């Protein structure tokens, strides 16, 4: 069956909860063992002191380690990515920082694509550096040879441990090839004699329109605050991957204590039921809005993965290889300057002026002075994040109402 058919039931057994058709919220810190022997068994497994016996599953111990809401959510989420396992976190940033800490160590080298989410950039440059972890970045215009040149000239090629990419990149929808990064990871795994992992922040298109694990990536990361949650009412994160990856990530999570709460996990279970229809509607709305924008005389350029949006041949090739749809994020350059952009943003009525994305309501923001304000000016220009750029996250409203709102905001 398709994931959308299983989002209401997978992993939940009504007979364990008085027959309730919906999974209750398990607001409990700890769980009662049936016997001391059972408690011993659970701990042996949880701490990896022995292999599990046939059909033996880890029992419930303590909500920092596991909880029914967490386990059911993690099981359901794996269906979209056909992942062996998943681990849920209290935010996208806690998912990202836990992966970076687990797969890097003092002296290691990290290779990452730019631009990345502002919080990720900060963690790489202000936290990882404290642990002696070095990072080099590459941009959308760097070819494979140039990337390898950068790795070589860092003098730490042998220490390369993790390749981290965010694609499509926020806010301009620039595409990075997942397959190329997987090849690069394989090459350095052989050269270095240790595994070089490839992680993809899949928040923008996943899990419906892009599936990095199926393209060979080792780790997929989500800010579940965005499309997975989808209602602007929670903060959460997710990591998907092989059994080996998830065991490592969950072990570190147990000791950092940054797991998702049962309440937030329950809210995400509700959100997942409508994930497919929300994202489909958001995408079809975005296609209409992008079409309108690309013909409007006040618009200089549209950054969208659909019709009229993708310009370079290389991007078209990557899009065909790894994207199943254009998604619902649109940026565009307005003709004029910051004043013009602000006038447009201030005049919107149906679109709310707020950062974040992926929710049922449409949102608009100004990356250069808001989400991407921290990027140094020369880099911003190189990445097309100028004062003219406006970012839209398209929701589930009526598409004609969205277009009418944009139309009246231009007329301001
Ligand atoms: C929002 C976001 C994050 C951070 O997630 P939080 O849930 O806010 O911690 C990371 N990556 C991308 C691409 C995002 O959009």
Q: Which helix (H) or strand (E) holds 303?
A: strand 299-303
Instruction: Count CB atoms within 10 A of the CB of residue 343.
Output: 14
Q: Which pLDDT band, with edges at 50, 70 and 90, does 330 fall under?
A: very high
Tokens representing residue 4 in the block? 């959308």
Domain boundaries, the chain: 14-62, 63-272, 275-411
pLDDT mean across residues, the chain: 96
Whether the CB of 39 sits within 6 Å of ligand 1: no
Tell which atom from ligand 1 comes closest to the C-alpha of 357.
Answer: 15
396 alpha carbon – ligand 1 mean position (Å): 21
238-249 tens-digit pLDDT: 999 999 999 999
Q: What's CA 295's distance to the chain center, in Å?
A: 31
Question: In CATH terms, is domain 63-272 a member of 3.10.180.10?
Answer: no
Architecture of domain 275-411: Alpha-Beta Complex (3.90)
Percentage with pLDDT > 90 across the chain: 91
Whether the CB of 237 sits within 6 Å of ligand 1: yes
92 alpha carbon – ligand 1 mean position (Å): 5
Asked if 264 and 250 touch (Cβ cutoff 8 Å), the reply is no
Whether the CB of 91 sits within 6 Å of ligand 1: yes
Instruction: Count CB atoms within 10 A of the CB of residue 251.
Output: 15
Q: Which pLDDT band, with edges at 50, 70 and 90, does 321 fall under?
A: very high
Residues 6 or more apart in contact with residue 239 via CB below 8 angstroms: 86, 87, 89, 95, 98, 99, 219, 220, 221, 222, 245, 246, 249
91 alpha carbon – ligand 1 mean position (Å): 8
Whether the CB of 218 sits within 6 Å of ligand 1: no
**Whole-Å CA distances, 220 to 197, 338, 393:** 11, 36, 22
Q: Which pLDDT band, with edges at 50, 70 and 90, does 375 fall under?
A: confident
4-32 tens-digit pLDDT: 999 999 999 999 999 999 999 999 999 99
């Amino acid at each position: 069956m398709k994931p959308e058919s299983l989002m209401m039931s997978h992993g939940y057994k009504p007979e364990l909860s008085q027959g309730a058709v919906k999974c209750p919220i398990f607001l409990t810190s700890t769980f009662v063992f049936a016997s001391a022997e059972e408690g011993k068994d659970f701990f042996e497994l949880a701490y990896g002191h022995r292999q599990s016996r046939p059909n033996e599953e880890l029992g419930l111990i303590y909500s920092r380690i596991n909880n029914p809401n967490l386990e059911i959510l993690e099981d359901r989420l794996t269906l979209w990515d056909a992942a062996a396992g998943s681990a849920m976190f209290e935010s996208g940033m806690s998912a990202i920082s836990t992966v970076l800490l687990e797969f890097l160590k003092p002296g290691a080298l990290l290779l990452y694509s730019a631009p990345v989410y502002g919080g990720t950039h900060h963690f790489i440059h202000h936290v990882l550096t404290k642990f002696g972890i070095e990072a080099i970045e590459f941009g959308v215009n760097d070819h494979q040879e140039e990337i390898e040149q950068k790795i070589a000239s860092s003098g730490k090629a042998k220490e390369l441990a993790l390749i981290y990419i965010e694609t499509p990149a926020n806010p301009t929808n620039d595409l990075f090839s997942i397959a190329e990064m997987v090849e690069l990871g394989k090459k350095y795994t052989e050269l270095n004699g240790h595994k070089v992992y490839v992680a993809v922040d899949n928040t923008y298109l996943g899990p419906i329109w892009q599936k990095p694990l199926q393209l060979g990536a080792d780790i997929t990361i989500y800010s579940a605050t965005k499309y997975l949650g989808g209602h602007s009412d929670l903060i959460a994160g997710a990591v998907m991957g092989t059994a080996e990856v998830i065991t490592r990530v969950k072990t570190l999570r147990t000791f950092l204590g940054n797991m998702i709460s049962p309440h937030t996990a329950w809210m995400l279970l509700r959100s997942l039921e409508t994930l497919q229809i929300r994202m489909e509607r958001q995408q079809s709305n975005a296609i209409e809005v992008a079409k309108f924008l690309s013909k409007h005389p006040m618009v200089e350029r549209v950054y969208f993965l659909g019709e009229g949006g993708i310009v370079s041949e290389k991007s078209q090739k990557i899009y065909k290889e790894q994207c199943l749809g254009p998604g619902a994020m649109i940026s565009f350059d307005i003709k004029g300057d910051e004043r013009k952009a602000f006038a447009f943003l201030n005049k919107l009525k149906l679109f709310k002026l707020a950062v974040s994305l992926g929710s049922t309501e449409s949102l608009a923001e100004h990356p250069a002075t808001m989400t991407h304000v921290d990027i140094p000016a020369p880099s911003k220009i190189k990445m097309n994040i100028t004062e003219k750029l406006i970012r839209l996250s398209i929701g589930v409203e009526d598409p004609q109402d969205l277009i009418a709102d944009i139309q009246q905001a231009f007329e301001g």
